[in-house]
Amino acid sequence: MVLKQQLQSLGLQVEVAASGSEALALWRASPFDLLITDCHMPEMDGYELTRAIRDIERLETRVPMPILAWTANVLHEEQQRCVAAGMDAVLTKPTDLLELREKLLYWLKRDSAMLVAQQLAGQDIVAAAINMQILSKVAKRAVTKVAMLREFEVHNRNDVANLLAALQAGNAAAVERSAKRIKAASAMVGAMELVALCDKIEAAVLQGDMGEARRVADTQLSATVQSLAACIAKFVDE
């Protein structure tokens, strides 16, 4: 019930199943963007459910749906078992709303991820987009912080546009340059979520996987930038 309420508070439509077999039937009847499954359920547990879905996806050449485990067991062995079953990530119980938000922004399709970011725009949680402790180290006065954030917002829009253009063109060197510029500026004002996202994009490019870099940008970058812009606007208006 709590998890359902958390997901709904983030603007998402939620279907709940009492067992793995019920969840499998729901999934076969209509498409879903993402599945969060308990590992231990009656009739069919989360591991069996995940393996069944992955088997069907392979057989019917479906695009794999992100599957997140939901468990109170934080042991490394449990996480390995989840990955071995075909799950993409693990959520721990009880799930912090910030942790849930980060996972959703990463794994949801672009439209759904943007919906989450928009839903958060008017909530206090959006303030997490800027680490004020970091910003305070380079700007003590409120008026200075406002000026810095405004300047950052202008240049960040241009840098993000350049990054997207470089990704589209498949220019690895330009992607690295743009990602480094965004990371340097973001780290200065405390936009650490954007720093982490650019790290992922840069790492994928360095590994020669431009497709993964584009996927990360397509599924997360717009939502992250939008959430950051909402946070800056909220701080500036105050």
Say whether pLDDT at 50 is over 60. Answer: yes
The H or E element that residue 28 is part of is helix 20-29
From CA 157, how far away is CA 227, in angstroms rounded? Answer: 13
* Short-list 104, 78, 76, CA closest to 9: 104
Amino acid at site 173? A
* DSSP states along 70-96: EES---HHHHHHHHHHT--EEEESSPP
pLDDT value at position 121? 44
Q: pLDDT tens digits for 99-130?
A: 788 788 888 865 565 555 555 444 444 445 77
Q: What is the pTM of this model?
A: 0.52
Report yes or no: 128 and 97 within 8 Å, Cβ to Cβ: no
Q: pLDDT tens digits for 225-236?
A: 887 887 788 777
pLDDT value at position 78? 84
pLDDT value at position 116? 58
C-alpha dihedral over 160, 164, 166, 172, to 10 degrees? 90
- Average pLDDT of the chain, as a whole number: 84
**β-strand partners of 36:** 68
